[in-house]
Amino acid sequence: MTLIKTVTLLKRRLGDSDVEFESLWAGVQRSSVALNSCYTRSRFKARGFRGEEFPFDGIATRNVIGATSHLFERELDISDPAFSFSFEVASETIKHGNGALKLIILSKRNADLTPVGFRSYWRDVHGKLTLNQSKFSTHLRAYRQNYIRPGSFRRLDNGEIPSNRAYDGMMEMWFDNLDGMNAAFQSEQYKTVMFPDEANFITRGLSIAFVADELLPNLTENR
């Protein structure tokens, strides 16, 4: 089943502390409950498994098409709009489940692929390949692929989008803990099978990742 969602990559305002940003962002989430938008916050916790820099303070996801004016204005108020972005995704769950630790990776597609080709290869080839690698998948609790809809990517201040920020996909994986995530990505099956295959659909060197605390508006929400 495919769900259409809106995603916002948020960079806090210059001068705001982590604590101030967290308080403001939690207020946006509370205000979303009445809209039944399933507003989920993925708050930056640590760099991704390769230690790369992550240029945002968190990612918001909601199960509505487009940003409602109320939520958009609230996000605009708490972020630096020149360094924050919004887009729509077609979201598909590859493996259902739950995990305490969430990994998010944003990627650009291989230049040889169309958006349709990128989605098809990632879902039908690499997605199945991932689940078939037992040394990796034994640690994987849940897995979701989000395909960014062409033409939906925008900067919050409507300015020009830097080429290294125009992503094509957002991956979400859940693990029990950091040790489980590291064991999966340090496995021989990831290194010799999955990692080489990534070059067939994403552009190496332009992906960014982070480990997140996932904060749900409704803890009974199913993935």
105 and 48 Cβ atoms separated by less than 8 Å = yes
From the list 129, 127, 134, the residue with the least C-alpha distance to 172 is: 127
How far from chain centre, in Å, is Cα 92?
A: 13
pLDDT by residue for the chain (223 residues), tens only, comes to: 889 999 999 999 999 999 999 999 999 998 887 666 688 999 988 877 666 678 999 999 988 665 566 788 899 999 999 999 999 999 999 999 999 999 999 999 999 999 999 999 999 999 999 999 999 999 999 999 999 999 999 999 999 999 888 999 999 999 999 999 999 999 999 999 999 999 999 998 889 999 999 988 754 444 4
116 and 168 Cβ atoms separated by less than 8 Å = no
Confidence at residue 223, expressed as pLDDT on a 0 to 100 scale = 43
The region, left, alpha or beta by phi > 0 then psi within -120 to 50, assigned to residue 25 is alpha
Scanning the chain, the segments in alpha helix (DSSP H) are 18-32, 69-78, 115-120, 127-132, 134-137, 178-185, 188-189, 195-198
Separation between Cα atoms, residue 97 and residue 54, nearest integer Å: 26
- Which residue type sits at 148? I
- The correct CATH number of 2-215 out of 3.30.70.100, 3.40.50.720, 3.90.700.10, 3.50.50.100 is 3.30.70.100
Confidence at residue 221, expressed as pLDDT on a 0 to 100 scale = 41
44 and 30 Cβ atoms separated by less than 8 Å = no
Separation between Cα atoms, residue 101 and residue 175, nearest integer Å: 5
Confidence at residue 218, expressed as pLDDT on a 0 to 100 scale = 56
Scanning 38-167, the segments in alpha helix (DSSP H) are 69-78, 115-120, 127-132, 134-137
Confidence at residue 220, expressed as pLDDT on a 0 to 100 scale = 44
Residue 16 DSSP label: -
Place of tokens 């830097």: 162
- Which residue type sits at 167? Y
Confidence at residue 179, expressed as pLDDT on a 0 to 100 scale = 95
Intra-chain end-to-end CA distance of the chain, in Å: 11
